[in-house]
Amino acid sequence: MEKIDLDFILNGERTTRSGVHANMMLVDFLREELGLTGTKFCCGIAVCRVCTVSVARVPGAHQIAIRACTTPLSDINGKVVTTVEGLDDDGELHSLQQAFLDNFAFQCGYCCPGFLMASYALLDQLKRSPVPRERVDDMVEEAVGQHICRCTGYVRYHRAIRQVILETPGLVT
């Protein structure tokens, strides 16, 4: 197995490891090596989207939602990764986290980190390219419509995401 020296930014902090397996999946590295268990593992084939994290090519670049269960460490080397643990701001919940709580958007909570991270990437996209108000529901559906929630909390997740988009200045035109 090929080994690499891993160097990337994780939740705002530089993370380095020598001699890691290049093909180790990001979700396994986060959970097993770093103890960051917020990113969940479920299907293992990128269908359910429970393991979604946000990745940017370099600091300040576009955030993209990716599935950590099928992303090898070699793909994130040199990049910026944000997990659900990185959403808070000095102990204050991110507006998405607060909206999820306010809207009772989750039941068991297992899929919640994936919904949060896909929504986080969506907010970044809308900051860079706002959409007309009438397109908000389409954008939410595009961002999280394929996420699987076994407790069927979809309506509440969508409501919470929509609320944050509409309440955040500059995301809609």
Report the sign of the C-alpha dihedral through residues 70, 118, 83, 15, in that order: positive
Can you read off the two tokens belonging to residue 38? 């917020």
- CATH 1.10.150.120 for the 95-167 domain, yes or no: yes
Whether 152 shows a pLDDT value over 90: the answer reads no
- Cα 173 to Cα 157: distance, rounded to the nearest angstrom: 22
Lowest pLDDT segment from 22-26, 47-51, 148-152: 148-152
In this prediction the pTM is 0.96
- Residue in this structure with the two tokens 């099928």, named with its chain if needed: 70
At the fourth CATH level, the homologous superfamily of domain 3-83 is Beta-grasp domain (3.10.20.30)
Q: What is the pLDDT of residues 58-84, one digit of tens each?
A: 999 999 999 999 999 999 999 999 999
Can you read off the two tokens belonging to residue 155? 């309506």
Greatest C-alpha distance within the chain: 50
Phi and psi angles of residue 140, each rounded to the nearest 5 degrees, phi first: -65, -45
Q: What residue spans in the chain does CATH classification 1.10.150.120 cover?
A: 95-167
CA distances from 166 to 1, 4, 39, 137 (A): 48, 43, 27, 11
Q: What residue spans in the chain does CATH classification 3.10.20.30 cover?
A: 3-83
Q: What is the pLDDT of residues 88-146, one digit of tens each?
A: 988 999 999 999 999 999 889 899 999 999 999 999 999 999 999 999 999 999 999 99
Q: What is the pLDDT of residues 19-30, one digit of tens each?
A: 999 999 999 999
Lowest pLDDT segment from 42-46, 97-101, 152-156: 152-156
- Cα 113 to Cα 39: distance, rounded to the nearest angstrom: 6
What is the DSSP code string of 7-54?
Answer: EEEETTEEEEEEEEETTSBHHHIIIIIS--TTS--SSSSSSS-TTEEE
